[in-house]
Amino acid sequence: MSMTQDPEVTPNDTRGPDEVVVISGLSGAGRSTAADALEDIGYFVIDNMPPTLIPRVVDLAAESEPGHVQRVAFGCDVREGAFFSELDDALHKLAERDIAVRMLFCEASDEVLLRRFEESRRPHPAALTGRVLDGIHRERKLLAGLRERADLILDSSYTNVHEFRARVKDYFSGSVDLHPLRVSVLSFGFKHGTPRDADLLFDVRFLPNPHWVEELRELPGTSHEVREFVLARPETSEFLEHLFALVDFLLPHFVAEGKSYLSVAVGCTGGRHRSVVLSDELARHVEELGYRVNVTHRDLA
């Protein structure tokens, strides 16, 4: 990559890349995977970047050939307290130049993180006592403030590497030209665990369960027979009417508040029938409203 400096260009008269993404989160939760996914879709990615160097690297990107470096992503490890103030200063400098900055926070459940560290046999970087679980708890506490500031929180507990990469790509691909709010709809089964990164969660276990209908039990919620069974119920129609009205009200307000990503989870017992049907219906309605939406059926298989 060419970063030849033009002596006539200074940080004060260069705007820089169109977008900067800061990748952070818990150790073992998928930061490296997220960085690889962003690199796949054209971001210039630098991992383990000290926050104090972010503005300077953005300056270098601005001084490169026009259009050569348009989107930059930084992987930041900010467990140490001093880094928080340094990151604030760096992001403030970028905001003064009207550079769009978004923050991606990767997380996972304690149980999943513990298993991953045990499988890798690596020590946890935040563990003072040597116990991995102590390190996970300490790091989660240290990063709580950063998590609250994140534009997108992705939980990798119940996704494989390929699914996690796909979620990152879906959110960040072509973001400059798309609707300011992207909506992700996830169907899941409560018996497999609730998604930690859902902004809105709806429980549809009150609806009649196709699992107890012998000819429907083995069919997925994407099948015509199951969809017909679920949607034919009067309580389903009434629920969808209220759900659509709520979504119609909420989405414009989320946009007005500057939210760029909304995760909606719909859960039933096993995640194979009712939640699948209702998630597809919700996604269709959101798409008709003009928003970009993606659907994931986490427990369908």
Q: Do 190 and 173 have their domain in common?
A: no
Q: Of the spans 120-124, 126-130, 167-171, 241-245, which averages the highest pLDDT?
A: 241-245
8 located within any domain:
no
The percent of residues above 70 in pLDDT, for the chain, comes to 88
| pLDDT, greater one: 196 or 272 | 272
Q: Do 256 and 134 have their domain in common?
A: no
Question: What pLDDT shows up at residue 172?
Answer: 83
Output Rg (C-alpha) for the chain, integer angstroms: 22
Residue 174 has pLDDT above 60, yes or no: no
Q: Do 168 and 196 have their domain in common?
A: no
Question: What pLDDT shows up at residue 41?
Answer: 84
Residue 178 has pLDDT above 70, yes or no: no
Give the residue carrying structure tokens 């260069």.
14
Strands 292-297 and 71-75: unpaired
Question: What pLDDT shows up at residue 301?
Answer: 81
The percent of residues above 90 in pLDDT, for the chain, comes to 40
Query: Distance between CA atoms of 147 and 225, rounded to whole angstroms?
Result: 42
> Is residue 127 within 8 Å of residue 48, measured between CB atoms?
no
Which of 118, 146, 177 is where one domain is finished? Answer: 177
Residue-wise pLDDT tens digits, 116-131:
988 888 888 888 777 8
Which of 135, 154, 177 is where one domain is finished? Answer: 177
3 located within any domain:
no
Q: Do 193 and 96 have their domain in common?
A: no
Q: Do 141 and 271 have their domain in common?
A: no
83-94 average pLDDT score: 80
Q: Do 65 and 155 have their domain in common?
A: yes
1 located within any domain:
no
Q: Pick from 158, 165, 160: which is nearest to 188 by CA?
A: 158
283 located within any domain:
yes
Query: Distance between CA atoms of 17 and 34, rounded to whole angstroms?
Result: 20
81 located within any domain:
yes
Which two structure tokens, joined as six digits, stand for 137? 């708890």
> Is residue 270 within 8 Å of residue 299, measured between CB atoms?
yes
Which residues span the domain enclosing 285? 186-297
Question: What pLDDT shows up at residue 206?
Answer: 96
5 located within any domain:
no
Q: Pick from 106, 7, 22: which is nearest to 58 by CA?
A: 22
Residue 12 has pLDDT above 70, yes or no: no
Q: Do 145 and 200 have their domain in common?
A: no
> Is residue 158 within 8 Å of residue 111, measured between CB atoms?
no
Question: What pLDDT shows up at residue 159?
Answer: 81
160-173 average pLDDT score: 84
Q: Do 225 and 251 have their domain in common?
A: yes
Q: Do 166 and 110 have their domain in common?
A: yes
If pLDDT is split at 50, 70 and 90, which confidence band does 82 have? low
State the CATH number of the domain containing residue 63.
3.40.50.300
191 located within any domain:
yes
Residue 219 has pLDDT above 70, yes or no: yes
Give the count of domains, the chain.
Answer: 2
258-269 average pLDDT score: 90
Could you count the other beta carbons within 10 Å of the beta carbon of residue 271? 25
Which two structure tokens, joined as six digits, stand for 272? 């194979």
Please give the single-letter amino acid code of residue 88: D
Which of 177, 199, 215 is where one domain is finished? Answer: 177
Q: Do 39 and 147 have their domain in common?
A: yes
pTM of the model: 0.64
149 located within any domain:
yes
Question: What pLDDT shows up at residue 67?
Answer: 53
Q: Do 44 and 131 have their domain in common?
A: yes
Phi and psi torsions of 37, nearest 5°: -65, -40
Q: Do 201 and 131 have their domain in common?
A: no
> Is residue 77 within 8 Å of residue 17, measured between CB atoms?
no
